[in-house]
Amino acid sequence: MLNGKKILLIISGGIAAYKSLLLIRLIKQNGGSVQTIITRSGEQFVTPLSVASLSGEKVFTDLFDLTDETEIGHIELSRSADLIVVAPASADIMAQMANGLASDLATTALLATDKSVLVAPAMNVRMWENAATQRNIETLKNDGVLFVGPDEGAMACGEFGLGRMAEPDAILEAIGDCFETDGDLQNKPLFGKKVLITAGPTHEPIDPVRYIANRSSGKQGYALAKAAVALGAHTVLVSGPTSLPIPEGAELLPVETANEMFDETMAELPADIAIFAAAVADFRVENAADQKMKKKNKDDVPSLELVQNPDILATVAAHKSKRPTLVVGFAAETENVIENAKLKLARKGCDLIIANDVGHGSDVMGGSENTIHIVSKNGVEDWPQMSKQEVADKLMAYLVDQLGVEV
Ligand code: CTP
């Protein structure tokens, strides 16, 4: 799979460093070679000896090592690789990368490289969620740095959440993706096409601390974005607040309210396919309070004046000059699923409605499975229950077919 590709692996400080030993083995088993730089903190978790034994190559640790500098030099070390992989990538090394710092061999190699860089973050959930870390990630993404993970789960520190390093086989897969040539990409059915997807709930403020929301998790929309990327599409995901990781290769535009989702979506037109998987709030509070609302006395109950939000799907479907070739809506219904979906198809002016039953006991909203019915002017297709990713993969393939793209 890796056909002699040279990976420069940077191991920074973190308990997940032990998984990097397995990653080295996987890279080698798949035909790649690995040179390694271990940072000073990384050395607290794995030793140069164990890394050298597994990689069968010299391990570098020191920027000012005279022998290393005369033999190879840090510039050459970073340039002779086909790809640099930082795993685990601590919050600290990402902060240094985002700011162009070069305080040790690892960060100097990262600054000197002319190759792609793939990072596998690993840190405590609070460190991951910290605004500074998120800012650095945004900067790195804008700089073209690629990411794999992090995953959600139990952490070595006892907490639970996003921040666990991706598993070695997922990192290996991401490494493989980095070497996909443009030729491969060009053979994909949606290469050169733009797919625009809305996902997640919207939050409509009542006051600075309260909002109206719904139970959407965003999983179906994110799964669709992953499927669109896999088919080679330029994929833009306009998403309300979710706790999901950004699908690799997709462009994420985070929003909170329906109005923001409307603006971002309209600004992304034209597109070839637009899929509206978001559960957009139909109403917003007309005059959200600037300050937290207080109870004036024990009988005080505020009344909220609601107004309708713009209908993003209907507006895009009716667009005179920039209507996407395929406009796909979702219909989350709790009763008369098919009849309501048919009415919605006509009312919204879209090409397809993906109907699903989100009534009591269905577990669709927030769950991992979905049972859908594809409603179009040609009739109704019922699909069996599948995981949301399977639904997404099959649905994207179906849309490729509808688009009439040569596969
Ligand atoms: N939708 C949208 N903008 C809105 C409301 C809905 O883009 N303001 C999209 C949703 O993303 C979905 C489709 O329209 O693809 C149907 O959403 P749904 O909430 O089922 O439809 P509503 O028009 O809100 O109809 P109702 O709530 O009356 O069933």
Which of these three, 135, 157, 185, is where a domain ends?
Answer: 185
**Mean pLDDT value across residues 209-231:** 96
Share of the chain above pLDDT 70, in %: 95
Mean pLDDT value of segment 151-165: 84
Residue 1 domain-assigned?
Answer: no
H or E element: which one contains 160?
Answer: strand 160-164
- How many domains does the chain divide into? 2
pLDDT tens digits for 60-112? 988 677 666 666 677 788 888 999 999 999 999 999 999 999 999 999 999 99
Tokens of 267: 């600004």
The two counts, helices (H) then strands (E), for the chain are 15, 22
Ligand 1 and 311: CB distance under 6 A: yes
Same domain for 125 and 221, yes or no, is: no
Tell whether 208 and 236 lie within a shared domain: yes
In DSSP notation, 220-260 reads HHHHHHHHHHHTT-EEEEEE-S--PPPPTTPEEEE--SHHH
Output the CA 278–ligand 1 centroid distance in Å: 8
Residue 292 class from Cβ within 10 Å (0-12 exposed, 13-18 middle, 19+ buried)?
A: exposed
Helices (DSSP H) in 296-387: which residue ranges? 312-317, 337-348
Are residues 241 and 370 both part of a single domain?
Answer: yes
Q: Which of the listed residues 156, 185, 214 is the one where a domain comes to its end?
A: 185
Residue-range definition of the domain harbouring residue 264: 188-403
Residue 276 parent element (H or E): strand 273-276
Does the beta carbon of 345 lie inside 6 Å of ligand 1?
A: no
- pLDDT of 36 reads 96
Domain edge (last residue) among 162, 185, 208: 185
- Clarify whether 157 is annotated catalytic: yes
Give per-residue burial for 77-91: e unless 16+ CB within 10 Å, then b. bbeebbbbbbbbbbb
> 168 and 43, same structural domain?
yes
Q: Whose CA is nearest to atom 17 of ligand 1?
A: 331
Tell me, in angstroms, the distance from the centre of ligand 1 to residue 62's CA: 58
The answer to whether residues 253 and 325 belong to one domain is: yes
The Å distance, Cα 331 to ligand 1 centre, comes to 7
pLDDT band at 378 (very low <50, low <70, confident <90, very high): very high
Task: Specify the pLDDT at position 407.
Answer: 44
Nearest to 240 by CA among 272, 285, 209, 279: 279
Give me the phi and psi of 25, to 5 degrees please: -60, -45
**Same structural domain, 314 and 360:** yes
Q: Do 224 and 202 touch, CB atoms closer than 8 A?
A: no
pLDDT over 80 (residue 14): yes
